[in-house]
C-alpha cells in the first residue's frame, strides 16, 4: 500500500517536472541581493567552522581541553 502511494507520487512529480507550465512571474530585484548575501555568508563561515573544529581536534591529540 505504501509503495503504491510512493510510486504514484514519484510519477506525479516526474510528470510535473517533464511538462512545466509557464509561470508568467518575475524575480524581485531584492531576491538577487538576498541570494548573494546567503552565498557570501556561507563562503565566509567555512573558515570559522574549520578553525573551531581544528582547535578541538588538536586539543584531543595534545590531551588538553580548550574552550
Task: Count the residues in the chain.
Answer: 67
What is the pLDDT at residue 14? 93
What is the pLDDT at residue 67? 53
Q: Note down pLDDT in tens along the chain; length 67 residues.
A: 668 889 999 999 999 889 888 888 887 888 888 999 999 999 999 998 888 888 888 888 887 555 5
User: The whole model's pTM is what?
Assistant: 0.43
All three cell numbers of 63: 590531551
Distance from C-alpha of 44 to C-alpha of 37, rounded to nearest angstrom: 10
Rg of the chain (C-alpha set): 23
Amino acid at each position: 500500500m505504501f509503495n503504491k502511494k510512493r510510486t504514484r507520487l514519484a510519477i506525479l512529480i516526474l510528470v510535473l517536472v517533464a511538462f512545466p507550465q509557464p509561470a508568467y512571474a518575475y524575480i524581485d530585484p531584492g531576491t538577487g541581493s538576498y541570494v548573494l548575501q546567503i552565498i557570501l555568508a556561507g563562503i565566509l563561515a567555512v573558515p570559522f567552522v574549520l578553525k573551531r573544529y581544528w582547535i578541538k581536534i588538536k586539543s584531543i591529540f595534545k590531551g588538553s581541553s580548550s574552550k
